[in-house]
């Protein structure tokens, strides 16, 4: 099976070693939005494939178990940001790692729930995975955008429990905006939070630290000096990660 991203998006498959190809893009149905980033075969089942997308909404990770006849959205509680790479743990069936614009996420139940990994990896886009076995230790190596390469011991790691399911409560207006962006969100606990505005390349172009003492907080970020385009607004706190897409126009 091959996913192409050259002009018109297409998804094709061959059942005879590549002698003949069938366009199955239509099998994606309502899951067809967004650009394709990577198509990965499952090492446990030759009929199972995973398709990753560059999108900020909808299905960003989808899966087929019947060689592309039907597809299922397994994004579940992933943040809605582009997904760049996938690593399927051959030693543990059902365990999958994703590299997206927020870092590394893992599922242990085939996408029913995702958790962000935290073993010294900064909050940075992850672009590529590589697995290296050395002296009975399995290492997942991670290439980031602008922050170098990190490695994770697959036998000893921790994760972060995050509240990313209610991102709709992060209210932003006007959107699109041109001079000033207002942000309002409810606080689960009184805490210090960081608001960051990220470019499509993952670069932080504006940030603000806020201390919340009430159940709801409202603040604003000046954006008059930023280049028009699509940005990601990220709210980070203790066990909190929320994100939403904003557009800047002139």
Query: Tell me: the pLDDT tens digits for 79-126?
Result: 888 899 999 999 888 999 999 988 899 999 989 999 888 667 777 789
Q: Where in the chain is CATH 2.60.40.1930?
A: 167-248
What pLDDT shows up at residue 198?
84
Tell me the whole-structure pTM to 2 decimals: 0.70
Higher pLDDT, 200 or 198: 198
Q: 167-248 in CATH: which number?
A: 2.60.40.1930
The mean predicted confidence, pLDDT, of the chain is 84
pLDDT of residue 168 exceeding 50, the answer is no
Interstrand relation of 126-134 and 137-144 (parallel, antiparallel or unpaired): antiparallel
CA distances to 97, 165, 172, 176 from 194, in Å: 26, 18, 15, 22
Place of tokens 């940005």: 231
Structure tokens at 37: 């980033």
pLDDT of residue 240 exceeding 70, the answer is no
* Closest to 124 (Cα-Cα) out of 50, 38, 40, 196: 196
Label residue 215 by pLDDT band (50, 70, 90). low
What pLDDT shows up at residue 162?
52
- Spell out the residues 6+ positions from residue 225 whose beta carbon is closer than 8 angstroms to its own: none
Give the homologous superfamily in CATH for domain 2-160: YVTN repeat-like/Quinoprotein amine dehydrogenase (2.130.10.10)
* Closest to 91 (Cα-Cα) out of 142, 159, 129, 140: 140
Higher pLDDT, 170 or 181: 181
Q: Where in the chain is CATH 2.130.10.10?
A: 2-160
* Phi and psi at residue 125, to the nearest 5°: -60, 135
DSSP annotation of 106 reads E
Label residue 7 by pLDDT band (50, 70, 90). low
């Amino acid at each position: 099976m091959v996913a192409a991203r050259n002009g018109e998006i297409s998804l094709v498959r061959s059942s005879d070693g590549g002698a003949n190809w069938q366009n199955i893009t239509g099998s994606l149905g309502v899951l067809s939005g967004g650009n394709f980033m990577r198509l990965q075969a499952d090492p446990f089942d030759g009929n199972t494939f995973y398709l990753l997308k560059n999108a900020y909404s909808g299905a960003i990770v989808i899966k087929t178990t019947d060689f592309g006849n039907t597809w299922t959205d397994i994004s579940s509680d992933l943040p809605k940001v582009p997904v760049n790479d996938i690593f399927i743990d051959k030693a543990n069936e059902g365990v999958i790692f994703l590299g997206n614009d927020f870092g590394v996420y893992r599922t242990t139940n085939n996408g029913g729930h995702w958790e962000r990994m935290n073993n010294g990896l900064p909050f940075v886009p992850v672009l590529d995975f590589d697995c290296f076995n050395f002296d009975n230790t399995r290492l997942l190596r991670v290439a980031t955008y602008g922050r170098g390469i990190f490695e994770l011991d697959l036998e000893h790691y921790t994760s972060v429990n995050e509240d990313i399911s209610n991102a709709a409560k992060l209210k932003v207006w006007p959107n699109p905006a041109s001079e000033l962006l207002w942000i309002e969100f409810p606080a689960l606990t009184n805490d210090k939070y960081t608001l960051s505005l990220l470019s499509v390349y993952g670069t932080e172009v504006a940030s603000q630290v806020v201390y919340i003492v009430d159940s709801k907080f409202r603040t604003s970020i000046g954006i008059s000096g930023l280049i028009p385009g699509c940005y990601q607004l990220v709210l980070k706190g203790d066990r909190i990660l929320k994100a939403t897409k904003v557009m800047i126009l002139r």
